[in-house]
Amino acid sequence: MKKTWILMVLCALLSYSSIEAQGVKLSLIGAVSKEVGPEHERFNWGFSVGGDFFFYVDDNILLGLRSTYSRFTPDESEFVESVGDLFEGNVSGDAFVVEIIPSLRLTTRYSMSNINLFAQIGAGVFILNNDVTVTGESDEDGETSVVQEVFGEGTQGRFGFNVGLGITFGNPEFITVDLYPMFNLVFLGDGDSFRYFTINLALGIGI
């Protein structure tokens, strides 16, 4: 089902050459991001940067691609406490996600207003790394031993999707400012997932 859905989206994107598009929208994105879920306290607030490329199928439907890079730093105290009684504990590593997501946006386009609403959904490849290593020394029964524990996994490509709602200020044919949160869900396998949200501020340019 996942592969079929992706193929359908890609076919829709590739078919734009046969559609009389009404314009193109480019966006530069900056965002704050946060992991959510059972272990959300292990990572601090992060940031995201990236861009959108959309073409208009008609006044209210846009198809395109979202590509962003998000990074989260670990909360060192949370990771050290999860290992056990350590002294001189050290935490290395971080988490990052690269999105390459074919996306669909449905938007209002009021002719007499510079404020419009939109909904956006996408699915595709997320390149994820959440590898964090904790090293330190532990004192058990009067003997000092070196402890090392690895959390997460190295770089991997996984299927996922995102969804969001937002508001646009400005003229869609020229320049807009878009404000919107997005929820992202990445499937890691074996019932595990990586979940995070971003609060995005984008500068859009109509072409």
Question: Rounded CA gap, 178 and 108, in Å?
Answer: 13
Question: Rounded CA gap, 153 and 42, in Å?
Answer: 15
User: pLDDT, tens digit, for every residue of 119-169?
Assistant: 999 999 999 998 888 877 776 665 667 777 778 788 899 999 999 999 999
pLDDT at 87: 64
Q: Does 99 have pLDDT greater than 70?
A: yes
How open is the CA angle 26-48-205, to the nearest 5 degrees? 15
Q: Does 37 have pLDDT greater than 90?
A: no
pTM value? 0.80
3-state secondary structure of 73: coil
Rg (alpha carbons) of the chain, rounded to whole number: 21
3-state secondary structure of 85: coil
CB 126 within 8 A of CB 98: yes
pLDDT at 103: 97
pLDDT at 34: 93
24 closest CA partner among 65, 60, 56, 52: 56
pLDDT at 16: 44
Ranking 40-54, 57-71, 83-97, 156-170 by mean pLDDT, the lowest is: 83-97
Q: Does 2 have pLDDT greater than 60?
A: no
Query: What percentage of the chain has pLDDT greater than the value 70?
Result: 81
